[in-house]
Amino acid sequence: MIRLARIDHVGLRVEDLDEAAERWCSQFGLVERSREGEVVRLACDDEPHCLELSAGRGEAVGIEHVAWELHPDCDLDAARAHLEGLGIEVDEDVAGGLTCRDLDGNRIQLLPARARTGVEGYVQHARPAAGVPGAPRKLGHVNFLTGRLKEQTGFYTDALGMKVSDRLEDAGVWLRIDSEHHVMALVDTGAAHPHHLAFEYVDFGHKIAALDHLARHGRWLGWGPVRHGIAGNMASYVRIVEEECFVELFCDMERVPEDHEPRNYPDDRFSSNTWGPLPPRSYFRFDQAAIESERESLETRGVPLAPLE
Ligand SMILES: [Fe+2]
């Protein structure tokens, strides 16, 4: 048996640790929580951390791992026995947890349950602040592109115990741990690549301030703002050229009951964006041609993006 409690953090491999730490703090309002050797940990508010930056040392930059906190009902031994029982290779992790990989090779870290006592157990607004005004409320979810949606969905439900919230025909699956509609999503584009990490904002007003700030730093949206048909969240996707991913800024995500039955949404424009446009093709790509096309909004101006070789 395995049971997750929540998403803990995303590990990002970066080119230049000092540059990246300063950039994520000044652009997204994160605060630096700790610095040990080649690792810098950043937080949205008063959580221990939500982003773990590590120096690239020549390796590919981008989302390097996603860490999940186990539920108090499930210790590390139980999680290891469960994963090994499914034939999954598990290793000890330097952070005191376990590490394994999904079927696309994305690294997963499992951390022991952490007790929250006293004030730390209160609702966020009743705890002492540690962030800066305007910072995201929390890290909410991650999204990965894949070329084998069915098998990857099986991995996250069987190996990690997530539940399917909804499907977009054969194109996507949204997965949950608790009542929040999703903490993880998989989109089938024919090839594996981490797509985005998502920060939650209080409401659209909070997001406007954040998006204005990001635009003044030269950032642009690859897609959005949109109102997703699936999950209902209002989402805006900021391109992070430096770490080959997007950051989604979202608010107002659907909550589902414990006995929620997965729905199968039609793969149409409305399921993806009740307000209007689907994303340009560049939104699903991380190559230079896609980035340059998106930077100047070329697809919208009638210049198609050449297919990848
Ligand atoms: Fe998302």
Q: Tens digits of per-residue pLDDT, 201-233?
A: 999 999 999 999 999 999 999 999 999 999 999
Tell me the average pLDDT of the chain.
96
Distance 237 CA to ligand 1 centre (A): 9
- In the chain, what percentage of residues exceed pLDDT 70? 100
Report how far ligand 1's centroid is from the alpha carbon of 156 (Å).
16
Residue range of the domain that includes 169: 138-295
In a domain, 132, yes or no: no
Same domain, 145 and 276: yes
Kindly give the distance from the C-alpha atom of residue 79 to the centroid of ligand 1, in angstroms, as a whole number. 26
Provide the domain count of the chain.
2
| 141 alpha carbon – ligand 1 mean position (Å) | 6
Ligand 1 center–CA 37 separation, angstroms: 31
Same domain flag for 86 and 196:
no
Q: How far away, in angstroms, is 233 Cα from ligand 1 center? A: 9
* pTM across the whole model: 0.97
Higher per-residue pLDDT: 243 or 125:
243
Enter the tokens of residue 121: 């157990």
Confirm whether 129 is domain-assigned: no
Q: Look up the CATH number of the domain holding residue 61.
A: 3.10.180.10
Q: pLDDT tens, 242-270?
A: 999 999 999 999 999 999 999 999 999 99
Is residue 144 located within the same domain as residue 103? no
pLDDT of residue 132: 86
3-state secondary structure the chain: CCCEEEEEEEEEEECCHHHHHHHHHHHHCCEEEEEECCEEEEECCCCCCCEEEEECCCCCCEEEEEEEEECCCCCHHHHHHHHHHCCCCCEECCCCCEEEECCCCCEEEEECCCCCCHHHHCCHHHCCCCCCCCCCCEEEEEEEEECCHHHHHHHHHHHCCCEEEEEECCCEEEEECCCECCCEEEEECCCCEEEEEEEECCCHHHHHHHHHHHHHCCCCEEEEEEECCCCCCEEEEEEECCCCEEEEEEECCCECCCCCCCEEECCCHHHHCCCCCCCCHHHHCCCHHHHHHHHCCCCCCCCCCCCCC
> How much is the average pLDDT of 57-81?
95
Between the CA of 247 and the centroid of ligand 1 the distance, in Å, is 9
Distance 128 CA to ligand 1 centre (A): 28
Model confidence at 83: pLDDT above 90: yes
119 CA distance to ligand 1 middle (Å) = 30
Lowest mean pLDDT among 92-101, 107-116, 155-164, 282-291: 92-101
Q: Mean pLDDT throughout 85-103?
A: 94
User: Cα(207)–Cα(253) distance, rounded to whole angstroms?
Assistant: 14
87 and 184 fall within a common domain:
no
Tell whether the model's pLDDT for residue 57 goes beyond 90: no
pLDDT of residue 133: 87
Report CA(143)–ligand 1 centroid distance (Å).
Answer: 6
pLDDT at residue 6 greater than cutoff 90: yes
What are 260's two structure tokens?
A: 């929620």
Higher-confidence residue: 221 or 131?
221
How far is ligand 1, taken at its centre, from the CA of residue 42, in Å? Answer: 20
